[in-house]
Amino acid sequence: MTPTDTTAGSGVYEVPEELRDFRDLVRRLAQEQIAPRAAEIDEKGEYPWDVRELLASHDILGLPFPSEYGGTGTGTLMQQIAVEEIAKACASSALILMVQELGTLPIQLFGSDELKERLLPKCASGEWSPAFALSEPEAGSDPAAMRTTAVEDGDEWVLNGSKNWITNSTIADFYVVFAVTDRENRRITAFVVEKDRPGFSIANLEHKLGIKGSPTGSPVFEDVRVPESNVIGEVGRGLSVALGTLERTRLGAAAQAVGIAQGATDYAVQYAKERVAFGKPIIDLQGIQFKLADMATRTAAARELLYTACAKIDRGDPDKAQYSSMAKLFASDTAMDVTVEGVQVLGGYGYVKEYPLERMMRDAKITQIYEGTNEIQRVVIARSLSR
């Protein structure tokens, strides 16, 4: 089975030849070394350290970083192409690369030179992995309801509170944590909190529907002290740090969704060629043909929107946030619809763990929720239209 080609046309975006070579490398690694591990990663629910080492050893974890900090310096489009290729094989493994961007982009965009030099090279090499801690039990889509606080004490800040739904919990070497520093004016600030700070702990890990190979947990801060140098950006401007980050990293969720949808389509097509019913392969039955046609069309459309949005981010186009939200919204809805249809194509086999479609369907659901729910994306898009 040959995966669908993702080379780009001219005009709106363009993938240079050297990046296509990198894409082909990622595709080969994903299909040959990650895909055979995907079912086991899901079944055991264990973080795939071997996959992380594989990605680090081939400079794939350097994709989110500029060359001056040891990264590839190849931009957002190449980053998300790689996420897509990995997600075709294993959505949990794709999150390793996604969070490498999510947890470091606040530092890249808003951090001091000292923070960048201290943290980014170790992440670019894959030695360290970060986490992004914004959501709380009562503050998911509404960061203004945040309860975690940070109080200044001399040249240090003291953090108290807890977070929820944090990817890479127990794995990350440091956490980008958002805390209220001015309750009266609803001002929050972003901080780097290293995993070995006294008072820091992980309360629990979630038992999830999908992406089981990526731990999701609840960091807790009990009088955790961090130095002034660990502040990211300006005090009281943490919301800008969060929104500026998510504007770009929501494309990771879109790329993951496109990869899941493509993986499901590829598998369903191959199965339909081999499965015989009524004396012929079911791909010759019009009912199945129409499902596969819709799956392939929606996935291709999602990819085009994703790549366009990535190019706009790389160019700094004024409508980049709108397109980022549209790509995340459309791609994640597509992944959910395509995987549900893929399960239907396989029939009873689609419902059992011996075949990958049920895992893909479970993994697809989270892409509609994290990095900003699809309801929030619709709000962002609508507001951009009214300006």
- Indicate if the pLDDT at residue 203 is higher than 90: yes
Q: Which pTM value belongs to this model?
A: 0.95
In tens, the pLDDT along 336-376 reads 999 999 999 999 999 999 999 999 999 999 999 999 999 99
Q: Give the mean pLDDT of the chain.
A: 95
In tens, the pLDDT along 96-143 reads 999 999 999 999 999 999 999 999 999 999 999 999 999 998 888 888
Average pLDDT score over residue span 311-328: 96
Average pLDDT score over residue span 255-266: 98
Which domains, ranges and CATH numbers included, belong to the chain? 17-124 (1.10.540.10), 130-237 (2.40.110.10), 240-386 (1.20.140.10)
DSSP label at residue 14: -
CB within 8 A of 175, min separation 6: which ones? 103, 130, 131, 132, 133, 166, 192, 193, 195, 200, 219
Give Cα 138 distance to the centre of its chain. Answer: 22
In this prediction, residue 4 carries a pLDDT of 41
- Indicate if the pLDDT at residue 150 is higher than 60: yes
- Indicate if the pLDDT at residue 9 is higher than 50: no
8 A C-beta contact, residue 157 and residue 151? yes
In this prediction, residue 16 carries a pLDDT of 81
Please choose, from the candidates 174, 122, 181, 124, the residue with its C-alpha nearest in 3D space to the C-alpha of residue 149.
181
From 85, 136, 247, 371, active-site residue? 371
In this prediction, residue 143 carries a pLDDT of 80
Place of tokens 């890479």: 168
Please, which pLDDT band fits residue 6 given cuts at 50, 70 and 90?
very low
- Indicate if the pLDDT at residue 226 is higher than 60: yes
Average pLDDT score over residue span 50-78: 97
8 A C-beta contact, residue 30 and residue 85? yes
Please choose, from the candidates 356, 357, 309, 361, the residue with its C-alpha nearest in 3D space to the C-alpha of residue 330.
309
Average pLDDT score over residue span 310-316: 94
In this prediction, residue 279 carries a pLDDT of 96
Structure tokens at 344: 């239907």
CB within 8 A of 5, min separation 6: which ones? none
Please, which pLDDT band fits residue 2 given cuts at 50, 70 and 90?
very low
Please choose, from the candidates 18, 81, 43, 39, the residue with its C-alpha nearest in 3D space to the C-alpha of residue 309.
81
Average pLDDT score over residue span 251-269: 98
Stated as kind and residue range, the H or E segment containing 158 is: strand 156-162
Please, which pLDDT band fits residue 7 given cuts at 50, 70 and 90?
very low
In this prediction, residue 387 carries a pLDDT of 81
Please, which pLDDT band fits residue 12 given cuts at 50, 70 and 90?
low
- With b for 16 or more beta-carbon neighbours within 10 A and e for fewer, the 113-124 pattern comes to eebbebbbbbbb
Average pLDDT score over residue span 294-300: 98
CA distance 294 to 273: 17
Place of tokens 């898009």: 381
Average pLDDT score over residue span 14-36: 93
Share of the chain above pLDDT 70, in %: 97
Write out the DSSP string of 167-204.
ETTTT-SEEEEEEEEETTTTEEEEEEEETTSTTEEEEE
Give the relative orientation of helices 91-102 and 238-274 as an angle to the nearest 10 degrees: 160
In this prediction, residue 142 carries a pLDDT of 85
Angle value at C-alpha 30, between 354 and 63, nearest 5 degrees: 140
Average pLDDT score over residue span 46-55: 98
Does residue 371 have an active-site annotation?
yes
